[in-house]
Structure 1
Amino acid sequence: MNVRLRDGIEIPFGDGETFVADATRPAGDVNFVSHAHGDHLYDAPPETALWSETTAELAAVRRADEPVPAGGGHPDVRLLPAGHIPGSRAALLEDGNRRILYTGDVSTRDRFFLSGFEPVEADVLVVEATYGRPSYEFPAQADAEARIVEWLQETRPTPLVLFGYTLGRAQELQRLVERSRRDGLYVSTAIAEINAVLERCQDLAFDAEVYDDDVDLGPDDVLVLPSQTTRLAFVDAIVEATDAITAAFSGWAVDDSYRFQAGVDAAFPLSDHCDFTELLDLVAAVDPETVYTQHGFADDLATEIRSRLGIEARALKRNQSTLGDF
């Protein structure tokens, strides 16, 4: 089995076909897009893509200057809900008597409007390793959500500026703000565009208004912004004018230093990935002969899988293939 990390993950299967996952310039016989986060979405679109309808709709917004690939299917590839963000999928390849599972980004936790990934048995597993070190253990989901809602209530009557990924985290934060019963909820234009797609495709509803220069944040209002905007001048201006408190939300927040790296007043662990223990549990449930790790702490996770589970595991390195090349 020659699994390669090149431009995306390449997996040969069937009668000489190549399955390519999450490439910037997909050029496989089967081109799979696991979800619509920018680091997994194409820059140059293929003619056809294997993806969920929600991911296709999101791609039309996030790659608005590019034609949207036609949806495709393959009789030997089955898509499974990955539990990462709306529309995310894992792919199970049936190659004769061998089953190959590519998870993409994955979470096994049920949360908000998402059901966690349900592992299936496979002979070969290609799994993400974003939080593939033992130090990355998240609090129980219910506890994490309750603590955030409690903080949202404790900080009244002061406006808040919350930061999260435009797709996925920002929608979760809106749900948490709604639970806190604060008066006003505003989002950036980019987040509002994602909200609109999810309302159309996922039978979800979001009550946030779009923030612009004409909005004056009141003492009970909350503004949700993309995570990459924490240090921008317009955020500084909002904070200076309103005395708003800022907060960021990420799995990386299990490390106390994250708050200072993000440049915010508070930080809370909230993730759309598996933590370390959940990754090991996922691997054990799949029960593969071979594991390839990628995208994150790949070397660390491969080492832990070998030592704790006794399963052959290697970190994928760009342009290397087969276990003998590692």
Structure 2
Amino acid sequence: MRAVKNLLVLYTGGTIGMLETPQGLAPAGGFETRMRAYLETAVDAPQIAWQLRELLPLLDSANMQQANWLAMCDAIVEAVKRDGHDGILLLHGTDTLAYSAAALSFLLLGLDVPVLLTGSMLPAGAPDSDAWDNLCGALRQFETGVPAGVQLYFAGQLLHGARASKLRSEAFDAFAALPRHREGQKALELPAVLTYCQPRIPVNLAVLPVFPGLQAVHLRALLDTGVKGLLLECYGSGTGPSDDEALLAAVREACQRGVLVVAISQCPQGSVMFDTYAAGSRLRDSGLVSAGGMTREAALGKLFALLGAGLDALTAQHWFALDLCGERVD
């Protein structure tokens, strides 16, 4: 852990830099000017040297897509490897902040610099906004030294990038890394195909919650769209309608076609442990892969990084089961 000397602030949009329009708040350029003006007059402002780059198009993070994750990844790698930046502060909207933090945690494996994501619930300049507190707090993390890897800083908390979730839509302490059961085996080494050096492409992924009334036709219709990876959000410890033979058959057929089907828990503090109930073990036997205590955001980001690297379902399943950056094991 070392203090950062040459920081890049990568501004992607989000509430922190929004301005009012006739249609409501919208992303706006020129944030560097506003940021420098604030820091020049703020008492005890961080003194770290920084440059700002706008990643266009600026987004309300509700519009975030896989292509934007790839653009952020490319911009970060370029800033480090070409321009010599030794730390990245990424300003991002809160709606999908945890998703991007998780995706980048896997896309940037092996990049030995700290990447910190932050944003705000209210725009900078709005009365009683949390924007400057979050931004200055993140800058101070770089001043004092922050570990390499991807983390999320919000409301005074430094959170693991692949463990954080947005829990609240209005409160300033919107993000947390809730306790979840974590166990498994750490990957002893990372092949080049799993590191930031590996190009990725977009992947057709989907998330489907289990609910009373879920039918095989629902699952088959989703799979017929060409999905390559599916997160099935199960009840509690990984249970579902295990007496529905048609549904189990649909899962088996998907796995046989090379679709990686992963089970996560719907519970905010849950984890998948198939053997606890017969209803879970039957789902496992149909081909479901356990995500353990991973969050939806982490499991989705990990699927994207693995399948987007061109791995087949069996190879991706092998690496999915291992801990790559602290997402599965404490």
User: TM above 0.5, one fold?
Assistant: no
Q: TM-score range by the shorter chain?
A: under 0.3
Q: Determine which structure has the larger helix proportion and give its number.
A: 2
